[in-house]
């Protein structure tokens, strides 16, 4: 059964460090929200913008909440964006792939939400 979408939105978040946002690192996502303002089940498209580079991604909740990058399904980055309602000021993290040798985690803060439908 398909989830009921209450809205289609565009989310913009900026890299958050010590409760401030750095303008050079952005996360942009177009997604559907359910009735609780959480990201609905499905596959949603977005990109991250780090300095002068853009990285498109596919976001999905199942079978694990993560971003798929670069067309390689085995390379994914776990995220906490599904854990709370999508609201301005909310934060979420993106972590390195479990397949990576490098360990890191980045926190983003939602700075704007635009309703598309």
Q: Are 75 and 57 in contact (CB under 8 A)?
A: no
What does the domain layout of the chain look like in residue ranges?
A: 7-115
Q: Is the dihedral of CA 70, 112, 19, 87 positive or negative?
A: negative
pTM comes to: 0.84
**First vs last Cα of the chain: how many Å apart?**
21
DSSP tag of 75:
-
For the stretch 5-26, pLDDT in tens is 679 999 999 988 765 555 578 9
Handedness of CA 38, 43, 45, 46 (dihedral sign): positive
Q: What is the pLDDT of residues 88-104, one digit of tens each?
A: 999 999 988 777 788 88
pLDDT at residue 32, as a whole number: 93
């Amino acid at each position: 059964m398909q989830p009921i979408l209450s809205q289609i939105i565009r989310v913009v978040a900026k890299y958050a460090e010590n409760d401030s946002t750095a303008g050079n690192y952005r996360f942009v996502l177009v997604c559907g929200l359910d009735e609780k303002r959480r990201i609905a089940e499905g596959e949603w498209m977005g990109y991250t913008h780090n300095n002068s580079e853009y990285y498109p991604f596919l976001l999905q909740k199942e079978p694990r909440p993560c971003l798929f990058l670069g067309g390689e399904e085995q390379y994914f980055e776990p995220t906490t964006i599904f854990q709370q309602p999508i609201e301005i000021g909310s934060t979420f993290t993106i972590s390195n792939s479990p397949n990576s040798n490098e360990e890191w985690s980045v926190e983003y803060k939602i700075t704007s939400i635009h309703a598309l439908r």
